[in-house]
Amino acid sequence: MNKVAFQGERGAYSEQALRGFFGETATPVAYPHLEDVFDALAKAQTGYCIVPIENSSAGSIYRTYDLLAENDVHIVGECFQKINHCLMGLKGTSLASVKQVYSHSQALDQCQAFIKKHGLLENSFYDTAGAAKWMAQQQDMANCAIASALAAQVYGLEILAEDIQTYPHNTTRFLVLSKDPAPSKGACKTSLVFEARHIPAALYKCLGGFATNGVNLTKLESRPAQTGMGRYRFYLDCEGHREEPAVDRALCELQFFTVQLRILGSYPAGKIPT
């Protein structure tokens, strides 16, 4: 299937990442919530889905981490999308005439310096592209939105300012998910989730096998395990494929110190934009 699910409205950064990963042959399918995206994949309504997992400015997207643990999916790829926030308004609008700005709360946070400089009144929205779509429907010249250049194109809006994010290297990492694992090829990463045994120095012992086998960790994240107070799931990314000897040995050692371990996927590593 060439249908790929993403969260948000047409023109969302997730759609940009989708097109960058799959190319123009894919058919993007928009869903309002992350839960809907995972559900579409589970019901085989789409062949793949793409979800944000972390942003260089805002940090981890915790709901995505929780849904990875709750659903039977495989990570088959990753990509990094440079986030270039644009201020957009109706045709004929000028930057000096707009008073209120609409966007997702994270996008508003990432553009604080620009917003304060121009004295704009902030309004939080569920999605950046959704804010652009709603603003285009309102036909109020005093309103503007922060979203992608693709959203401006989709909804017929005029870009008033580009690259308005406070930090110029603002980047979001996306995961590509499927019901089936990825074939092994090229430089790979492996992602997994585990719950450590309730013993002294449990996390230290869980990670020891990666150190002794020379496996580089690229990410470690903790979330409540929902099995009781004080218990946590740990999400871990490392370099290498699960079938490589060093990674395999590290995983065998890890398993001894866990009550639950699940490999989320071994997949080709994405390239971080400069």
Phi, psi of 208 (to 5 degrees): -60, -40
Domain 3-82+170-178 top-level CATH class? alpha beta
pLDDT score recorded for residue 1 = 65
Percent pLDDT > 90 in the chain is 87
Tens-place pLDDT, residues 86-133: 999 999 999 999 999 999 998 999 999 999 999 999 999 989 999 999
Which positions are catalytic?
172, 174
Tens-place pLDDT, residues 183-212: 777 779 999 999 999 899 999 999 999 999
Tokens of 54: 């972390």
Domain 188-268 top-level CATH class? alpha beta
Among 43-47, 165-169, 180-184, 203-207, the range scoring the smallest mean pLDDT is 180-184
Q: What mean pLDDT, rounded, does the chain reach? A: 94
Tens-place pLDDT, residues 223-274: 998 777 878 899 999 999 999 999 999 999 999 999 999 999 999 999 988 7
Domain 86-161 top-level CATH class? alpha beta
State the amino acid at position 54 in one-letter form: E
Q: How far apart are CA 94 and CA 144, in angstroms?
A: 10
pLDDT score recorded for residue 75 = 97
**pTM of this structure:** 0.91
Q: How far apart are CA 237 and CA 247, in angstroms?
A: 11
Q: How far apart are CA 217 and CA 155, in angstroms?
A: 42
Mean pLDDT of 156-174: 94
Residue 21 has pLDDT above 80, yes or no: yes
Tokens of 137: 């429907």
Same-fold call for 3-82+170-178 versus 86-161 = yes
Q: Where are the domains of the chain?
A: 3-82+170-178, 86-161, 188-268
Residue 48 has pLDDT above 70, yes or no: yes
Residue 67 has pLDDT above 80, yes or no: yes
CA 108, 132, 34: angle at the middle one, nearest 5? 75
Residue 70 has pLDDT above 70, yes or no: yes
pLDDT score recorded for residue 274 = 77
- Burial class of residue 261, CB neighbours in 10 A (0-12, 13-18, 19+): middle
